[in-house]
Amino acid sequence: MKLNSPEMPAMMHSSQRATEDKSYVIIGRLGRSYGLEGWQHVQSFTHPIENIFEYKRWFILQRNEWQPMTVEHSKMHGKSWIVHLSGILQKEQAALLSNKPIAVLRSELPAPSEGEFYWSDLEGLAVVTKEGVALGTIDYLYENTGLDIMVIKDKAKERHVPFIWQETVVGVDLQSRLVTLDWDFDIN
């Protein structure tokens, strides 16, 4: 099961999370400017990558506030995507938005199916074994060869554990902020 299924956006590394406001979900990041007319590269955290363009109204973090922007055009450029946002007419304007996170309203996203979760909802949750041994918290997730990997950190260790529902992950309680694992590794 993929956490960032075709309708589900993945999330960026927690140290790059721009806000704790759960009404927004980060689905990508603006990259460097392209050309002279305000186009810029875009990094999508959705799966597949082009799903980011299903959302025409993006929110871009500027001066610690989410600002709405409209996607006017998007297209493939080589192996990456570029985008033109409304009101961005010059290279210099686009350059000011480089590396800014792209978010959408959580209310615009489909509800996850049973056993599916948005990465943003898992980041920061405590992780325990099924025996109750505390392992740390989920710092971030990433995809590696088709598997979603949780990076679990405590004060001493960083563990990379695949998220396989009902195999390695046997429980997720979002209200209690707890993930339970059935994973064979040395916890000392």
What tens digit of pLDDT does each residue of 84-96 get? 999 999 999 999 9
Query: What pLDDT, on a 0 to 100 scale, did the predictor assign at position 173?
Result: 96
Domains of the chain with bracketed CATH: 24-105 (2.40.30.60), 119-181 (2.30.30.240)
Question: What token pair was written down for 47?
Answer: 């799966």
| pLDDT tens figures, 41-79 | 999 988 889 999 999 999 999 988 999 999 999 999 999
The 3-state DSSP class for residue 92 equals helix
In 3D space, the residue among 79, 118, 100 whose CA is nearest the CA of residue 33 turns out to be: 100
120-147, pLDDT tens digit by residue? 899 999 999 999 999 999 999 988 888 9
Closest CA relative to residue 41, chosen from 103, 88, 83:
83
Mean pLDDT value across residues 91-117: 93
